[in-house]
């Protein structure tokens, strides 16, 4: 039996204006994409969209039939960044993309996606 491959869209890596981000996801909602990775994964200083804005976007995309995965930061240093991460990881609606081992730790016991910035080079790591 063949499995129908799904199409997923990674998180925005650029620093776009809030309007551009919202307009972009309006179009994504109508696109054939199945899975949408959502959130800030590059830099915590980029805060044109607050975490609540991302959650709101997630709900909209989910309502449009998309499978939403919340992406998390690739580099966590400050406590404020960990606080945000805890909020993402403690949500009980969406899957989380862990981009740092701190996120992997917080997601233990629950399914999650390992992002590209986590070093997975061999099967013993998996």
What are the residues binding another protein (CB under 8 A)?
A: 74-79, 81-82, 85, 100-106, 108, 117, 119-125
Structural tokens at position 72: 């998390």
Longest dimension (CA), the chain: 48
CA distances from 17 to 14, 22, 63, 72 (A): 9, 9, 24, 19
Separation of alpha carbons 99 and 118, rounded Å? 6
Closer Cβ to another protein, 30 or 77, answer by number: 77
Closer Cβ to another protein, 8 or 117, answer by number: 117
Closer Cβ to another protein, 18 or 116, answer by number: 116
Min separation Cβ 22 and another protein, Å: 30
Min separation Cβ 18 and another protein, Å: 25
């Amino acid at each position: 039996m063949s499995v129908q491959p799904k199409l997923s869209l990674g998180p925005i890596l650029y620093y776009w204006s809030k309007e551009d981000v919202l307009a972009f996801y309006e179009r994504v909602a109508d696109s054939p994409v199945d899975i949408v990775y959502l959130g800030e994964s590059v830099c915590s200083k980029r805060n044109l969209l607050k975490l609540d804005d991302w959650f709101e976007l997630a709900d909209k995309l989910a309502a449009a039939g998309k499978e939403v995965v919340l992406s998390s930061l690739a580099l966590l240093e400050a406590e404020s960044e960990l606080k945000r991460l805890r909020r993402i990881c403690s949500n009980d609606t969406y899957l989380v993309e862990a981009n740092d081992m701190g996120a992997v730790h917080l997601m233990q016991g629950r399914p999650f996606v390992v992002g590209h910035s986590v070093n997975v080079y061999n099967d013993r790591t998996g």
